[in-house]
Structure 1
Amino acid sequence: MCVRITQLSTRIEYVTELGAPIDPREWQGGNTIPDFNAAPGRAVLTLHRLSQGKLGSDYLRWGYRTPPAVERDEALEACVLIERAALGRYIRHMWLSGRVLVPINGWYEWTGDNKNRLPWYVRLKNNEPMFLAGVTNYMPGTNQTAERGVAIIADSSISGLIDSGYLRPVVFTSDFALQWLDPRMNRDEAIYLASKYSRPPDDFEWYRVGTAVNKVDLKGELDWAAASALIKPI
Structure 2
Amino acid sequence: MCGRITQKASPADYARGLSWPDSVVSALPEVPIDNYNCTPGAGHWIMHCMEEAPAMRELPWGYRPSWGAEKNLPVAINARIENALTSAYFRGMWKNGRIIVPADGWYEWTGERGSKQPWYVRRRDGAPLYMAALTNFRLDKELSEDGGFVLVTASAGGGMVDIHDRRPVVLAPEDAQLWMDAGFSKEQAEHMARYFALPPDSFEWYEVSTEVNKVGRSTPRMIEPLHAH
In the superposition, the TM-score normalised over structure 1's length comes to 0.89
What is the deviation of 1:32? 5.3
Pick which of 189-198 and 140-149 moved more.
140-149
Deviations, residues 31-81 of structure 1 (Å, cap 9, x unaligned): 4532101111111110001332x1111111101112232113333211101
| Contact in 2 for aligned 1:161/1:201 (Cα 8 Å) | yes
Question: Across the two proteins, how many residue pairs are aligned to each other?
Answer: 226
Cα gap change, 1:16/1:30 in structure 2, threshold over 3 Å: closer, same or farther? closer
1:190-201 counterparts in 2 under 5 A? Answer: 190-201=189-200
Cα gap change, 1:26/1:215 in structure 2, threshold over 3 Å: closer, same or farther? closer
Q: Which residue of 2 is the match for residue 222 of structure 1? A: none
The one-letter amino acid paired with 2:95 is: L
Aligned to 2:222, which of 211, 215, 230?
230
- Supply the distance in 2 between the matched residues of 1:160 and 1:138 (Cα, whole angstroms): 35
Q: Which residue of 2 is the match for residue 17 of structure 1? A: 17
- Supply the distance in 2 between the matched residues of 1:29 and 1:64 (Cα, whole angstroms): 26
- Supply the distance in 2 between the matched residues of 1:191 and 1:8 (Cα, whole angstroms): 28
What is the deviation of 1:217? 2.1
Q: Which residue of 1 is the match for residue 7 of structure 2? A: 7
Q: What secondary structure does 2:132 align onto? A: strand
| Contact in 1 for aligned 2:132/2:179 (Cα 8 Å) | yes
- Supply the distance in 1 between the matched residues of 2:25 and 2:16 (Cα, whole angstroms): 15
Q: Which residue of 1 is the match for residue 205 of structure 2? A: 206
In the superposition, the TM-score normalised over structure 2's length comes to 0.90
Pick which of 96-105 and 144-153 moved more.
144-153
Pick which of 136-145 and 25-34 moved more.
25-34
Q: What secondary structure does 1:86 align onto? A: coil
| Contact in 1 for aligned 2:16/2:25 (Cα 8 Å) | no
- Supply the distance in 2 between the matched residues of 1:11 and 1:64 (Cα, whole angstroms): 23
The one-letter amino acid paired with 1:61 is: P
What is the deviation of 1:17? 1.1
| Contact in 2 for aligned 1:109/1:166 (Cα 8 Å) | no
Cα gap change, 1:216/1:146 in structure 2, threshold over 3 Å: closer, same or farther? closer
CA RMSD of aligned residues (A): 2.1
Q: Which residue of 1 is the match for residue 135 of structure 2? A: 136
Percentage of pairs with the same residue: 33
| Contact in 2 for aligned 1:154/1:170 (Cα 8 Å) | yes
